Structure 1
């Protein structure tokens, strides 16, 4: 074909080319732009099938493929689309130069078609460059009416050049939007953590937000263990079984050295990567494991695995997720420091209240008790029996009040969120829990140096007996008061020193009698 004839055959399609060139730049959404490009190229060259393969420069292979001309049923029948490592698709990936072939089957670079693939003979391919980087390739096959011509190649090269500009703009816009989402997500996590989240809730918040931002199948946080491994302590995986939490990477795992060293780890396929040893790895594919560290302190690792077969993470994904992890680690450190300050303020306030109670209330009650005791002794011979009984009762009530105020002082001195370790603290925790069921809090009285004299295993047995007695009291009808006394100076029937637990309630027994007293005792040693 002469040059004049070539120009004549291309001229009728110039309006179509102009329309296609204008059309590819009308949308800033990247995936929409890519689909529009391949459809425009197919229409412009009168090809039956078209594809646009996106190249991952790190892997030198196709990571995504946008098609035109294939129905949903045909795509499903083909199954997994080619990765561009072999065949004519691979030839363009490895050598990004325009390629026109009249008969694909006669070309030595062709490796055939997968089962179920429509027949394709003629082939035309051109690279798409964004600035100097090869972004992907346009592939066209099965031109209607004969093989592809040089005119088709020329028109496609013009379209590819314009497509590179449109893709560059769309990719820049997508990167900006993605960066905004990650920044907004980091700000949301920071704000949430600084409003008083517990440690467990804070880690879950980080895992969940990161999972959504990364479009991952799961978001998990791992922390170092005492044995030298790492354990998953928080997981956000709505479509997965809940056996992820507690999974441990044992010492000696190849990936553990990097994680404990605060280095990021990026995996192509978690299920097949030899560095992964956990039982949950078979569920996931591409993954990134990012250090949560601030000021040289390693808090843990944020892992974001995707499903098997999902698209791998890009360099931009890794960069933004790494920045999010750094911001989240700083927020966790600040939240922990704020929680410690607030807890210290609570401790200081409780110490002040306990000190005031002891200095003002207990001393006055004790002085009044001494006055009443002195009055009772002076009036023993002169006063009537009922007067002596009333004074004795008043002394007893004051003594009981002093014991309960001292118990309240001790409770104020306990850490509000920590599990108590002393016997006093454990008894108070049991009665507080029973109070939620009874509707009132049982009164508690300690006699003697309970925490000093009562040790293991007697203290554990006492708490178990108390729990059983409180449960029995709750089952009785009409209970409105429960009194608990722990006496570490009791004398057992055999004369040995011991500890005695007494639980008295005013509930109705099965025999119709109101009031029950349960006693448990054991030797101190």
Structure 2
């Protein structure tokens, strides 16, 4: 080997090249491997400076630069390193062919050097390919003892091919690991949703799992508003989500048009992107907005923002997140359908119980009451008549209780009651938590048909006051609520057995209003 084919230290270059090639697979981390390749490149070519730039085709720029020959102070003086959008680095990206120059300052493609950058003249650069795609570039500058030779270029090409293998393997491993992670996360979300969570919990499950999978600062779900805007209804974040929930994207916003059309939106920096108009955008950088769409129906939008300055989302992350959103939307639809089926089964069972109570119990009680009334008219002894009369009253009270139970069974369990009778039962059910026992409620007359909204509100306010007063009295063990409506008006009577201030037991509150 001639003197020209050896490094300045006299070490043969072929063994060093073989060592570098064999060492590509020995480093556990890609970053360590790439830094080793840059260091070896400068040694093999006798260059003073070397760099390896990772290229992102989606952004059209170098996103990470590994350097050698520059001290920490020199890097600090340079400031922001080249991004490959211009100059010789940009030329090597746009036209991926090797470049060898004796003096880069004389080349028209050179864009000059930033202030504080070391003086450079000789330049050697080659593209790094993974399969057929350019993924990085390898550069060497300032060869000691003269310009770079063809042998230097051949050596750099070998190193570039080794770097391409390392980057390609790393990307393949990372993509496989990432895909497995997202698949496991999607399966976990589907399992959780189909386990029977309510709507709010289901959306939170989607938002939180997506935030973890995407390594995002927040996971946010938006849903459409009545005026065709979108509002944040759920937010999962390490910070306080209160300033996110309730945020509205107004109708007509550019990003909204894409989302309503079912298109995902990807942003490198939400804080500066003109399509974002919310107040929270200044906190975030790289952001994905993914429609939750299933069967042509837009359920909502999943937003995954990262903090400002965080690494941008890769092509693989965008694809996997979009697939996650599609699967999550389908799981939400299936979970909703399952919940509806379960609710329907509950309603059907309640309706069956109510029919049985009405057809069997009430009719038999009513027939017994009629028989006792007939017997009462024929009874000669006063004592027997009194006993039969009390039995008739008890039967009538039982009939009213059963009818109230039938009405309660016919109400949807989660829905707010819309009828007056249902609102009364809701008030007494709430009072049962404080009293420790359910009040007895009796209705007489067509209360739902006769009691209008203003009268109902006043009566319910009086009922709440009477129940609260009963709760404050000591020794209360029973509360009876009677509501009677007829053509003359509606009457409320609340009776309890508590101890009054004067020491006597039992209090009756009566409220009456004309109809």
Show CA shifts across 1:58-112 (max 9, x none): 2211233445677889878877655332455444434434456788778773544
SS at match of 1:64: strand
Tell me how far apart the structure 1 counterparts of residues 212 and 73 of structure 2 sit (CA, whole Å).
31
Alignment check: 8 A CA contact 2:376 2:389 kept? yes
Q: Once superposed, what is the RMSD of the aligned Cα atoms?
A: 3.0
Pick closer, same or farther for the CA change 1:193–1:148 going to 2, 3 Å: farther
Alignment of 1:400-415 (within 5 A): 400-415=397-412
Tell me how far apart the structure 2 counterparts of residues 286 and 460 of structure 1 sit (CA, whole Å).
52
1:358 equivalent in alignment to 2:358: yes
Pick closer, same or farther for the CA change 1:54–1:481 going to 2, 3 Å: farther
1:514 equivalent in alignment to 2:510: no
Alignment check: 8 A CA contact 1:484 1:501 kept? yes
Alignment of 1:390-469 (within 5 A): 390-469=387-466
Alignment check: 8 A CA contact 2:5 2:13 kept? no
Pick closer, same or farther for the CA change 1:92–1:361 going to 2, 3 Å: same
Tell me how far apart the structure 1 counterparts of residues 505 and 146 of structure 2 sit (CA, whole Å).
103
Q: TM-score, normalised by structure 1?
A: 0.87
- Which residue number corresponds to residue 309 of structure 2? 309
1:340 equivalent in alignment to 2:340: yes
1:383 equivalent in alignment to 2:382: yes
1:262 equivalent in alignment to 2:246: no
1:191 equivalent in alignment to 2:191: yes
Pick closer, same or farther for the CA change 1:430–1:64 going to 2, 3 Å: farther
Tell me how far apart the structure 2 counterparts of residues 87 and 425 of structure 1 sit (CA, whole Å).
77
- Which residue number corresponds to residue 298 of structure 1? 298
Pick closer, same or farther for the CA change 1:238–1:21 going to 2, 3 Å: same
Give the Å deviation of 1:182.
Answer: 1.4
Alignment of 1:24-173 (within 5 A): 24-26=24-26, 32-46=29-43, 51-66=51-66, 82-99=82-99, 109-113=110-114, 119=118, 121=120, 125-139=125-139, 149-150=148-149, 153-173=153-173
Q: TM-score, normalised by structure 2?
A: 0.88
Show CA shifts across 1:422-448 (max 9, x none): 122222222222222322222222222
- Which residue number corresponds to residue 4 of structure 2? 6
Listed as ranges, the gaps of 5+ residues in structure 2 are: none
SS at match of 1:465: helix
Which moves more between the two structures, 334-343 or 245-254?
245-254
- Which residue number corresponds to residue 494 of structure 1? none
Give the Å deviation of 1:367.
Answer: 2.0
Pick closer, same or farther for the CA change 1:170–1:482 going to 2, 3 Å: same
Alignment check: 8 A CA contact 2:466 2:494 kept? yes
SS at match of 1:350: helix
Alignment check: 8 A CA contact 1:488 1:500 kept? yes
